Chain A
Amino acid sequence: MTYLLKPKLHHPSLAPNALGYTRRDYEGAISTMCAGCGHDSISAALIQTCYELDMEPHRVAKLSGIGCSSKSPDYFLGNSHGFNTVHGRMPSVLTGANLANRDLLYLGISGDGDSASIGLGQFAHAMRRGVQMVYVVENNGVYGLTKGQFSATADKGSKSKGGVVNEDSAIDLCALALQMGATFVARSFSGDKGQLVPLLKAAFTHGGTAFIDVLSPCVTFNNHAGSTKSYDFVREHNDALNRLDIFFGKDEIVADYAPGSVTDVRQHDGSILRLHKLHDSYTPTDRIHAMRYLEERKALGQIVTGLLYMDATPNTLHDNLNTVEGALGILGDKALCPGQGNLDKINASLR
């Protein structure tokens, strides 16, 4: 916890983005996380992402459940919309908000307890419906806020701070997201912004259901020997598949890589994801391959990170439901109440 307000003064070289905002303008209230919590690094990565993507803060809606992770949205994007739902219920509130106003960018922030324990059902359904959003789970393997009980992502055999061994098998949210039909699935580590920030950028520009499982050590309750979610353990077992660069229309794409070492994927909005392969055989556009690969590596005790899977032309909930353009709130009376004539027509068609 830090009580001192972060001074507004910034480095003289910190430039404003296209909207005239500096990175500092995307910050939020001062964090009350424990010092050294991975969640704060994820907040910093989100701040950097939104700054670099020239995102208008008022066009972002942050939704979260309950937990240390779920309270972190207070600590970034202080000028965006925010909603703290009941524990584990963020996905359904986000889905509703998205249906009502498709013009906002939806950012779901959740924890492993919030999404894999109490909210597992909500999580699974949001993944299969094509809700356009960036869904980030800040995964520390414990319920941080309630003092460190194992969550459903805690690995079997890992030890709690008090020495208790977890006997339940772990839920891999990436595997579940793949199975449920998410169109963008990645895993990263709070301690590696070089990997995380480009993934977040790609997720924000993806246009479908983007899910990122970010390992985020809980320094207070799950950073000891015997934990599989500690800084040391994650660093030692991190098996990065690829590094990502993202290019937008205006950027120059310089191609000076050995053939086969990079793959370019064009996203629906024209941006190009350049993947620097660290594993030769891995292609992140093959969902079945991704699922098998995850399981294989897990069996070897490795934590696979990077972009696991993406569908460059995702379908969304709005496409599927054929909803009207624009936010419902700004539809005029005429659109909302099309008149007796139209009602008669509809009734007739149902007779």
Chain B
Amino acid sequence: MNPTDTRNPDYFHKVVDCQWACPAHTPVPEYIRLIAAGRYDDAYMVNWKSNVFPGILGRVCDRPCEPACRRGRVEEQPVAICRLKRVAADHKSDIKSRLPAPVAQKNGKRIACIGGGPASLTVARDLLPLGYDVAIYDGADRAGGMIRSQIPKFRLPEAVIDEEVDYILEMGATRRFNTWVSSLKDILAEGYDAVFVGTGAPRGREANLPGRKEAGAHIHIGIDWLSNVAFGHIEKIASRVIVLGGGNTAMDCCRTAKRLGGSDVKVVVRSGYDEMKASPWEREDAQHEGVEIINFMVPKEFRHDAGRLIGVVFEKVKAEYDANGRRNLVPTGEPDQLLECDAVLVAIGQENAFPWIERDLGIAFDKWDMPVLDQVTLQSTAPRVFFGGDAALGPKNIITAVAQAHDAAVSIDLFCQGRDVRQRPAPHTNLASQKMGIHEWSYSNPVTLDLRHKVPTLDVAKALKSPKSEFELGFDLKLAYAEAERCFNCDVQTVFSSKLCIECDGCVDICPVDCITFTDNGEETELRTRLKAPAENMGQALFVSETLQTGRVAVKDEDVCLHCGLCAERCPTGAWDMQKFLLEMSHAGQS
């Protein structure tokens, strides 16, 4: 292999698994260290800069960082990255003075954001401080999008949404709420310099089965029902409820139903338990609250008696895999099963809908009726119109919406300044030694054996009686510190200087996880087999040094490095050093 070029920022960035996996590339270990140091305001601001909604995301983020977390490869569970974010939000003081103030001197450019969800709000946050005039349109009377209309209050209290949405609105956004946009042409006609479409994926998929119409009074589309609950239009449900679908919306439906009077709540899913789309923690919470999950059942019919719902008839299926390893659900041949119930919530997916975008504006749509976008700039085929969030690539999650909105804001800024939208600013990086003394580092390098700490919750019985009370209570500061200490500080990189190494083997012997090997160079797949521990995780890089004095190379498998710094402490010549790699994404207006 060629010697590794660690000057390419992607190399060290990839080592920070959580940050690499975070769509917005939040510097996770950086804020976790700040939490451990009790610097909650600073930890909050690191988050606010990259993901805009730390208090919200610290409760409800889909947390793609956690399955990626290195700790999960060395012991059972990753660091509770998401819940630590909440700690920063819960325990900060008033940080308003650290937020950008409304800009007095505007730059004369006007931007319209259609939809007031996290995507549009992020665009507004990125552009307002640069002097843009940003108008946010939403059919609802307040901003927040699905964060406000869908996510149940027991997972995300209203006050948290208000606080973080207001931070942005108070930066001087023009509020066009209670304004449903029915024509993009009209908006464009108002002479905006650019338009951002952040209208989400607002339509819930239907279950067109026999009996749907007749029993319709007892069958609800999940996301419509949830928003009715969120806005106080619905306050109870019948006692026996069936939820169709296995995603997170289904989990919110069943848990909400449990709180609104559903005593017997079943979630019925086509697939097996392990293939369910809902996050494992959502499934566990639902089951913990007494929801029954039934798998491998496909709904066939809403059984009713002259419009009075009796139940749902299901066909039993099993998973079979074809030659290409693709899963097919095939009937088992057992008789169909009727599950009796009084109400059904249909949570089998969401769709985009752009009835308000005229098709003669130069915006191309593909065969799925989705806008054709440049994947990097998020610009549509009409140069003035940009998309982001669920409206751009279909329903995903908040953090993806935020990340895309950052990208779109960069594009909008470049576009409005008459610059090439494809010339993107590079991320900011910094690499600095953490050595303070022979055995002293400016980060906490001991590795704790603590298993993942559980977030305290309300007592289930109490929680079910109090639909608006937040179920999770968040870490207290003691637990937060203990959990923060579980982080390995993967951003503190092992940086190697080939010319200093005397090949004494000291680092090889001390490394607790057998990362380092001195051996003859070779081709990667072969080299991976003859390291001190086999390097089987192909998703993780091998670091290869320059050729050393004995003709061998030093090879480090990044996979399970604990970043404990023992190699650097044990090295007599300082050939290994622990250096902190900080990568911050460039947002609009930064170069």
Contact = CB atoms under 8 A, between A and B. Distances in A.
Interface of A: 1-14, 24, 34-38, 40-41, 43-44, 190-191, 193, 217, 219, 223, 231-232, 235
Please classify the interface of chain B as helix (H, G, I), strand (E, B), loop, or mixed, using the class held by over half of its residues: loop
B571 A43 contact: no
A41 B570 contact: no
A13 to B, nearest CB: 5
Contacts of B506: 35-37, 40-41
Nearest to B569: A2
Interface centre among A2, A7, A8, A37 (most CB of B within 10 A): A7
Contacts of A13: 533-534, 536
Interface in B488-504: 502-504
Given A9-B562, A35-B570, A235 B550 contact: yes
Interface stretch (B5-13, B444-452, B460-468): B444-452
Contact of B504 (A5, A9, A12, A191): A191
Interface string B495-538: 00000001111101110111100000000000000000110100
A40 B447 contact: no
Contacts of B75: 9
Contacts of A14: 514, 533
Interface in B520-576: 533-534, 536, 549-550, 560, 562, 564-566, 569-573
A41 B504 contact: yes
Contacts of B439: 1-4
A36 B447 contact: no
A13 B562 CA distance: 15
A9 B571 contact: no
Contact of B446 (A4, A38, A40, A193): A4
A3 B510 CA distance: 12
A37 B502 CA distance: 11
Please classify the interface of chain A as helix (H, G, I), strand (E, B), loop, or mixed, using the class held by over half of its residues: loop
A7 B567 CA distance: 13
Interface centre among A12, A35, A37, A223 (most CB of B within 10 A): A35
A44 B505 contact: yes
A14 B571 CA distance: 24
B74 interface: yes
Interface of B: 73-75, 438-439, 445-447, 449, 502-506, 508-510, 512-515, 533-534, 536, 549-550, 560, 562, 564-566, 569-573
A12 B74 contact: yes
Given A36-B572, A190-B505, A4 B512 contact: no
23 contacts: A2-B569, A2-B570, A3-B439, A4-B446, A7-B446, A7-B564, A8-B449, A8-B512, A9-B512, A9-B513, A9-B562, A11-B515, A12-B73, A13-B536, A34-B572, A36-B570, A37-B506, A41-B504, A41-B509, A191-B505, A231-B502, A231-B503, A235-B550
B72 to A, nearest CB: 11
A230 to B, nearest CB: 9
Interface centre among B447, B506, B560 (most CB of A within 10 A): B506
A9 B509 contact: no
A69 B181 CA distance: 81
Given A2-B566, A12-B73, A12-B74, A7 B512 contact: yes
Q: Nearest 6 A-B pairs (CB), nearest first?
A: A36-B572, A7-B447, A44-B509, A36-B504, A11-B533, A35-B572
B514 A11 contact: yes
B512 A2 contact: no
B533 A9 contact: no
A9 B505 contact: no
Contacts of A2: 439, 510, 566, 569-570
Given A9-B562, A35-B569, A191-B505, 11 more contacts: A2-B510, A2-B570, A7-B449, A7-B512, A9-B447, A9-B449, A13-B533, A24-B512, A34-B572, A40-B506, A235-B550
Nearest to B514: A11
Contact of A5 (B438, B446, B549, B571): B446
Contacts of B446: 4-5, 7
A14 B549 CA distance: 30
Contacts of B445: 4
A240 to B, nearest CB: 14
A34 B509 CA distance: 14
Interface centre among A11, A24, A43 (most CB of B within 10 A): A11
A6 to B, nearest CB: 5
Contacts of A36: 502, 504, 506, 570-573
B504 A219 contact: yes
Contacts of A217: 504
B35 to A, nearest CB: 21
A227 B573 CA distance: 18
Nearest to A3: B439
Contacts of A223: 502
Contacts of A38: 504
A219 B564 contact: no
Contacts of B533: 11, 13-14
A322 to B, nearest CB: 43
B564 to A, nearest CB: 6
B487 to A, nearest CB: 13
Nearest to A8: B449
Contacts of B503: 191, 231
Contacts of A232: 502, 549
Contacts of A12: 73-74, 560
A13 B449 CA distance: 18
A237 B446 CA distance: 40
Contacts of B550: 235
Contacts of A35: 506, 569-572
B504 A10 contact: no
Contacts of A1: 438-439
Contacts of B573: 36
Interface centre among B447, B509, B550, B560 (most CB of A within 10 A): B509
Contacts of A34: 572
B135 to A, nearest CB: 53
B9 to A, nearest CB: 28
A1 B569 CA distance: 8
A38 B533 CA distance: 22
B500 to A, nearest CB: 11
Given A9-B75, A36-B502, A235-B550, A4 B534 contact: no
A184 to B, nearest CB: 25
Contacts of B562: 7, 9
